[in-house]
Structure 1
Amino acid sequence: MQSLKDTYQRITDTIVEQLEAGTKPWIRPWRGSVRHSRIPRRATGEAYRGINVLMLWVSGQMFGYEENTWMTYRQAQDLGGQVRKGEKGTLVVKYGTFTPKEREDDEDRSIPYLKGYTVFNVEQIEDLPDRFASPAEELPSVPVPHMETVEVFVRNTNARVSYSGTKASYRPTSDDILMPDRDRFESEVHLYSTLLHELSHWSGAKHRLDRDLSGRFGTECYAVEELVAELAASFLCADLGVAHDPCDNTAAYVASWLEKWRARHFSSNQQQLI
């Protein structure tokens, strides 16, 4: 069983990884379904509370889940469902107290505990009852204006871009850029600053500029690549006449890298003084 300290650390690491990547884990620049903005719920319909809400929002954003219902592996099996092979669960926690037998006569001696366990989004589970397959709720359709200067620029790079789903990413294995559907974005500012950010990652492929794209959340090379992509997107937005994403992501990327640089610089100065 994991210790209380380990559980707290896992929660902290999950959120810090997102913040170090320059992302506010509870915000994304495109609209999800109406369901996605609601408080996550258990299989029973009961709402999650506290830090669990944030943890499930983070996971929903990272993996593009539209549904807001989560359950344990055992709960899925009891309902006749099966978690798909290879799916990764999300940490949630249970708070409570217990009183050791030797202290049962003392009401003030109850001990708090925090227990971590894993849940899966219903989109990760097959063969659940129909009540867990909510009909899709239509989003308000507000066409995002096309900016021809940006569209022409992107086409001239010969980058393959497809609009579908709920995530924005450059995929090195298939060498293409995946974007959410255009009408999910709040404005052309959000759409094009996101697209140019992913295009900047595309430029770093081995057969182009050969940058290190292998880093994971929280690693130094990941922070460097995100900083490069966000600064490149800022320059491209300025050059193409796009107001850059106003979500302060650039400042977060810079702050993340500056913190690492300062730590390295301080360490180097210490060694020189020894």
Structure 2
Amino acid sequence: MAKEKFDVYEHVTSEIIAQIEAGTPPWRKPWTGDRSAACLPLRFNGEEYRGINVLMLWATAAMQGYASARWMTYRQAGELGGQVRKGEKSACVVKYGTIDREGDNGEEKRIPYCRAYRVFNADQIDGLDEAFYLRPQPPRDLGTTADPELDAFFTRTGATIESTSDPRAYYDIQGDRIHMPPVATFHDAQGFYGTLAHEACHWTGATKRLDRFTRFSDRKAYAFEELVAEIGACMLGVRIGVAPQFDQSAAYVEGWLKALKDDKRAIFRAASEAQKAADFIMQRAAREAAPQANEREAIAA
């Protein structure tokens, strides 16, 4: 009997659906009371994983209680002087690439592929350098007052951010502005900046930025956009030290499940778009920070 072909998209999406149905979407798990802190998963050489691999490794770390940010193959662990402990189970990640093949007309053409491979967390491995076991710092507890550093960060993105007594947080597409309730109305400042990160990810979707709303505009687009914003807020929050807030409504969960069950590649696209949104915000903030730093140095001189 022929061996059934492994479907990467089906495997990943099935795991994500199982997490949501259990009430623990993987992009929420890094901040829900286990010993591991929020951190971006890293390869053995310190490079960051991206897109869908971030979600998959977050999910595994949350379920297993891993605290280390480092992941590697069995062979890489051995090359680094480590040994995966007997009985440890690996996690699934995927690699995208292209291969060159000769077409029917004799011309070379590039064929895209998606391949799964297995990795282990450093917490599953003995004998590695001590640096691999260092625990990341948890997100900061900001208390109940505004944080000037985070205010400055979001200001540097160039987003128009307004605050009124209206008890709603949203991104206004027509007005191209983010509305936030006053920070004093939140239970804590973490909630304020986590919510702001979510709305800022929505803000990146405008035509003059990442043009996501135009590219994803069918009847499933709303649920998809919420996935992008929630995952993107997590990716952004890890970088700036803020745990994002999540809408727990049944309608959102139902929308996510329908989107994922209808299209096994939806979560891959959502993770990819979320990565672009988080990168865009970080790049805008960094670009605006450089001239300000130069100006301060000139004044000091």
Q: TM tier, shorter chain?
A: 0.3 to 0.5
TM-score, normalised relative to structure 1: 0.47
TM-score, normalised relative to structure 2: 0.43
Q: Indicate the structure (1 or 2) with the bigger Cα radius of gyration.
A: 1
